[in-house]
Structure 1
Amino acid sequence: MPAKIKVRVLFFALVKELLGKAATTMELDEGTDTARLLQLLTTKFPALKSISGSVMIAVNREYVYSPVRINNGDEIAFFPPISGG
């Protein structure tokens, strides 16, 4: 059985509105990456499925653009796509 890690997950803007919360703490299997975390979140919060393909992710305040392994104590933030003019 894999060891467990704890992470803080933050939600901003539309993601926060869809989920009805700004943050949560999650216990994950060691070795979980950001892609797997997003899958777990869409299972836990089905409303997230509508934007899961375009959500932006930051780990410890740095954007990541491909799956990144999550470590104990990390802070993972989810943002909707940003657009501007």
Structure 2
Amino acid sequence: MVIGVARAEEPATGLTGDLRELQRQLFAARRAVNMFGSNVNQAAAAANATGELPGWAVEAVQLCAHAVARLDQVTALIDRRLR
């Protein structure tokens, strides 16, 4: 069963399923924050070339703020479960 769960052949249940979901959420938030770093580099290059930030920069900052807020939520959830 453990090998089946690890291979996602069998549904995860109980604590394993909870941890798997938390891990998925953390990876998604991490990916979003990494993408933001790439967007900052692109925005800086555009600003240096044109003297103005691209219009999408505001949305990128909002997406990063959302990802960080989600990280805070998942961290708090983990903290509550560990107590």
* Common fold: TM-score over 0.5: no
- State TM-score, norm by structure 1: 0.25
More helix by share: 2
Whose RCO is larger (CA < 8 A, sep 6+)?
A: 1
- State TM-score, norm by structure 2: 0.25
Larger Rg: 2
